[in-house]
Amino acid sequence: MLWQYGVEGVHYEWNEDGATITGLPTEATKGSEKESLTTKNLFEANLKIGAFADKDPYTAADPVIDESFKLFDENSSPAPKINSSEVYQSYSSDLWDEKDKLIAAVAKGEMTGQEAIDQYNAECGDIVAAILESFNQ
């Protein structure tokens, strides 16, 4: 409760129903014309790590929050698995270094794009083939 909502009586108070809470005016705005209410201190309420017996102190400040989470849950899917292998891990930095070197050479006008592609294929083609083969095993 402390990390999600703050200190009872300072940042929030329980409503009469015993299941919901209301934020209290912040010290900075208390009594002012633009008095604002506190919100949860640190974590999003939907991420709370503990269950509450007989009551749940979370009620969305705005129904749009719950609709947003519902929409996300209904339409989200796990990201595809990224392929990796020992061969890839051994040589991937070499491939990136070669790509960076060739891209820089093209950007400086030292070679054409086609020359860079040809050089990359000549110098890295065997490594790329070995990586692809390791992915297919």
Average pLDDT over residues 15-33: 67
Least confident stretch, 21-25, 43-47, 102-106:
43-47
Higher-confidence position of 79 and 114: 114
Q: Tokens 């200190």: give the residue.
A: 7
Q: Are residues 68 and 26 in the same domain?
A: yes
Residue environment code for 67-102, b if the CB has 16+ CB neighbours within 10 A, otherwise e? eeeeeeeeeeeeeeeeeebebbeebeeebeebeeeb
Per-residue confidence band for 33, with pLDDT thresholds at 50, 70 and 90: low
Residue 127 pLDDT > 50, yes or no? yes
Q: Which residues pair with 25 in a beta bridge?
A: 37
Question: Do 102 and 47 belong to one domain?
Answer: no
pLDDT digits (tens, 9 = 90+) for 85-117: 899 999 999 999 999 999 999 999 999 999 999
Query: What does the angle CA 126 – CA 132 – CA 133 come to, to the nearest 5 degrees?
Result: 90
Closest listed residue to residue 41, CA positions, set 65, 10, 11, 8: 11
| Chain-centroid distance, C-alpha 43 | 15
Quick one: pLDDT band at residue 11, thresholds 50, 70, 90?
confident
Give me the domain span that covers residue 63. 2-75
According to the model, what pLDDT value does residue 97 have? 94
Mean pLDDT for the chain overall:
77
Residues 15 and 40 in one domain: yes
Residue 29 reports pLDDT greater than 70:
no
99 and 37 in a common domain: no
In a domain, 81, yes or no: no
Which of the 8 DSSP states describes residue 25? B
Q: How confident is the model at residue 52 (pLDDT cuts 50, 70, 90)?
A: low
**Domain annotation covers residue 31:** yes
How many structural domains compose the chain?
2
